[in-house]
Structure 1
Amino acid sequence: MSYTSPNWSTSVLITIDTQNDFTLPNAPARIEGTAEVLPRMKSLLEAYRAQGLPIIHVIRLYKEDGSNVDICRREVIEQGAKIVAPNTIGAELVSAIHSSNYSLLDADKLLNGEFQLVGENEWIMYKSRWGAFYKTSLEWFLQERNIDTTVFIGCNFPNCPRTSMYEASERDFRVVMVADSMSQVYEKGIQEMKNIGVHVCNAEELMSDII
């Protein structure tokens, strides 16, 4: 366990795709269960902010011409569906997880691969595919800040959180999955994460560890 146990003082809390178009009632690409985990996500974010620990919100932006969209979704975007389109309310983080200094997304900056500062020690970054490390500078960003533990919460475990946790593990980060603060979690998936050394916990356990 010495290589996989979390180091909370050098950890980062990473939210995945918790955007209006994936979360709110009647949203065009609503993921069941995401709204329900928001209260626990909010509590964890507030705890990290209170401790001065870093936070990164990872998001999607689908250009309306479909040019940057996964091939499994590209056709529906090309046909006119507007999902997390740049410079729309649907692309914004849900208000429940905003920092006190939150500002609207700077789509040009994010699509260019830059990190947007939205609070003290808190950023937003864009990913173009399932994984947060795929063609992004996230690994470098974390290493520059001596962060060795990645804590994941947010939207739709089977897709982006799971892929991102595998990618973090491949890069020798210590990985934490907060199972009750992530949508679409199922028991087999939890076991798969444990099998690759992911520390699986719930929000209450995490807060007791970092406070």
Structure 2
Amino acid sequence: MANSEWNHTALLVIDMQNDFILDDGLMRVDGGKAIVPNVIKTVEMARRRGIFVVVREHDPQGRDVELFRRHLYSPGKVGPTSKGSPGAELVDGLVIKEGDYKLVKTRFSAFFATHLHSFLQSEGIHSLVITGVQTPNCIRQTVFDAVALNYQPVTIIVDATAADTPDIHLANIFDMRNIGVATPTLQEWCEADA
């Protein structure tokens, strides 16, 4: 690592699973497929700096999903990102490697009802970089919780995150920038010194 500051930074890769990215994914985000190459490049760069991978995964019976999604987990039907299903697997090109950290989240925010905050604190992490989908939901909720928990800086790689439409994505990026979140492009982030 060229700069020890990266030792205090974690990259959260949010919801880059088949059910969110593939054309036939049960929770497909229209803009998701386009950012896959940039998310992969972000992960490659971050592995030199330290990375934690956050994965959404649900109980096959839907017992841990939001109430508004429970109807998607009826008996005999595989619901979105059900544990062990092809839809819960990371999209092609993303793999969890030794040294990465997998955290299962069941809500929009990676901090809600998980041990992410305590884990990051114990590792001395105080800044976060976030990639993935979907900007108005999981990205936004995680970012707002990170800001409330005093992570500084919080960075969103603007071209390694996506929503269903560019307009939705950019409106949410604008809102998050207004609360002090950094929004570089992948190239800008790769060239930055911590």
**Given the two structures, how large is their TM-score scaled by the length of structure 1?**
0.81
Distance (whole Å) between structure 2 residues aligned to residue 11 and residue 189 of structure 1: 23
Q: 1:97 is paired with a residue of what secondary structure? A: coil
Cα distance change, pair 36–67 in 1 and its aligned pair in 2 (3 A): same
1:73 matches 2:56: no
1:139 to 117, 126, 133: 117
1:62 matches 2:58: yes
2:16 to 15, 18, 35: 18
Distance (whole Å) between structure 1 residues aligned to residue 60 and residue 121 of structure 2: 34
In the other structure, the counterpart of 1:89 is 86
After superposing on structure 2, the runs of 4+ consecutive aligned residues of structure 1 that deviate more than 4 Å are none
Distance (whole Å) between structure 1 residues aligned to residue 123 and residue 89 of structure 2: 26
CA offset at residue 66 of structure 1?
A: 1.8
Distance (whole Å) between structure 2 residues aligned to residue 57 and residue 9 of structure 1: 15
CA offset at residue 210 of structure 1?
A: 4.8
Q: How do 1:193-204 residues align onto structure 2 when only pairs under 5 Å count?
A: 193-204=176-187
Cα distance change, pair 162–27 in 1 and its aligned pair in 2 (3 A): same
Question: AA paired with 1:148?
Answer: H
CA offset at residue 81 of structure 1?
A: 4.6
In the other structure, the counterpart of 1:159 is 137
Q: Is the 8 A contact 1:8 1:209 kept in 2?
A: no
Deviates more, 1:157-166 or 1:81-90: 81-90
CA offset at residue 201 of structure 1?
A: 0.9
Distance (whole Å) between structure 2 residues aligned to residue 206 and residue 183 of structure 1: 17
Q: 2:93 is paired with a residue of what secondary structure? A: helix
CA offset at residue 62 of structure 1?
A: 2.3
- Render the CA deviation track for 1:4-26: whole Å, top value 9, x for unaligned: xxx54521111001011111122
In the other structure, the counterpart of 1:207 is 190
Q: 1:125 is paired with a residue of what secondary structure? A: strand
Gapped runs of 5+ residues in structure 2? none
Q: 1:42 is paired with a residue of what secondary structure? A: helix
Distance (whole Å) between structure 2 residues aligned to residue 29 and residue 155 of structure 1: 11
Distance (whole Å) between structure 2 residues aligned to residue 191 and residue 28 of structure 1: 28
The sequence identity of aligned pairs, in percent, is: 28
Aligned residues: 184
Q: Is the 8 A contact 2:39 2:132 kept in 1?
A: yes
Distance (whole Å) between structure 1 residues aligned to residue 104 and residue 151 of structure 2: 20
In the other structure, the counterpart of 1:149 is 127
Q: Is the 8 A contact 2:20 2:29 kept in 1?
A: yes
Q: 1:201 is paired with a residue of what secondary structure? A: coil
Deviates more, 1:22-31 or 1:133-142: 22-31
In the other structure, the counterpart of 1:181 is 160
